[in-house]
Amino acid sequence: MTRTPARLAMGAAAAAGAALIFSAVPATAANPPYDGCPGWALCLYENGGGTGSKVIVTPPAAGGNTKIVRLTNTHFLNGVLADNQTSSWINNSQCEIEFWDDPNGELHPSDLDFASSWSWGTTGDYAAGTAKSYDNDRLSSLRFSCP
């Protein structure tokens, strides 16, 4: 086989490409804040700023429906119980949501936070250094009202 300049150039290019593929640095696995929360859902995150493991909570159907969700049997995707362990959230639903410190379903819950209806992308953060850090790890139930 005759080595022409074109064949030599193709061989050099192939070798250079292979070297780039095998020497590439692996990408980091970190997710952006509030990542992976689908539309028509509320996502609770284990850490502040919409980071860490999450719970995807599906609110009731629209049309004036109300639903209370207790976090005593709800787990983050990593298996940790979400009750009193939620540090941030994002509301991607059209529902109004009341966030309560309501241990064991008591009759007089303490309101921690509120998300108005029709406010897609509204977030809350209870991590240290935020305005609501005093609510960190107190969230135990949610009340959805869906227009």
Band of pLDDT at residue 104, cut at 50, 70 and 90: low
92 vs 58: CA distance, rounded Å:
10
pLDDT mean over 100-119:
80
The CATH number for 113's domain is: 2.60.20.10
Question: Among residues of the chain, what percentage have pLDDT more than 70?
Answer: 76
Nearest one of 63, 60, 64, 78 to 142, comparing CA atoms: 60
Instruction: Please indicate, yes or no, if residue 20 is contained in any of the structural domains.
Output: no
Domain of 98, in residue numbers: 42-146
CA 30 to chain CA mean position, Å: 13
Question: How far, in Å, CA of 119 to CA of 91, rounded?
Answer: 8
Predicted local confidence at residue 16, as pLDDT: 46
Which is more confidently placed, 7 or 141?
141
Does residue 49 lie in a domain region?
yes
Question: Is the predicted pLDDT of residue 11 greater than 60, yes or no?
Answer: no
What element of type H or E holds 28? none
**Number of domains observed in the structure of the chain:** 1
Q: What is the pTM assigned to this prediction? A: 0.75
